[in-house]
Amino acid sequence: MTDTIFIRGVVIHARHGVMEHETEVGQRFVIDLDLSADLSESSRTDRLADTVSYSNVVATATAAFKDANYKLLERAAGAVADAVLAAFPRVNTVKITVHKPHAPIAAIFDDVGVILTRSRG
């Protein structure tokens, strides 16, 4: 059985990017998370101890995302995935979407980013 916890639209200011001004000034990123876990126990017991705390996931993801200045979104997203899997043993799979709405692209666009999916084991 696989259930999903989702968290959408976590806004973080960070200094990731290849361009010098991206690492100096930083910019806004938006992160979405999908966590696959067996939630059958918590759906019966109604106890926070039997599930994954959304608040703790956001704190872990934010810390991992801001922990270093990465050149690539792929690496920043990978750091978040690794941190979530390490901190939450109930999570079997994590899908991280990182949006970079102000990427230095010479075009008009709505959104750009990466999606990584990582599983335990």
pLDDT (0 to 100) of residue 23: 86
Domain edges within the chain: 3-119
- Annotated catalytic, 66? no
pTM of the model: 0.93
Q: What does the mean pLDDT of the chain come to? A: 94
pLDDT (0 to 100) of residue 91: 97
pLDDT (0 to 100) of residue 1: 59
Catalytic residue among 66, 71, 95, 100: 100
List of the chain residues with pLDDT < 50: none
CA distances, 112 to each of 32, 40, 65, 89, 119 (Å)? 13, 35, 17, 30, 24
Say which CATH architecture domain 3-119 belongs to.
2-Layer Sandwich (3.30)
pLDDT (0 to 100) of residue 2: 79
The answer to whether the CB of 22 falls within 8 A of the CB of 85 is: no
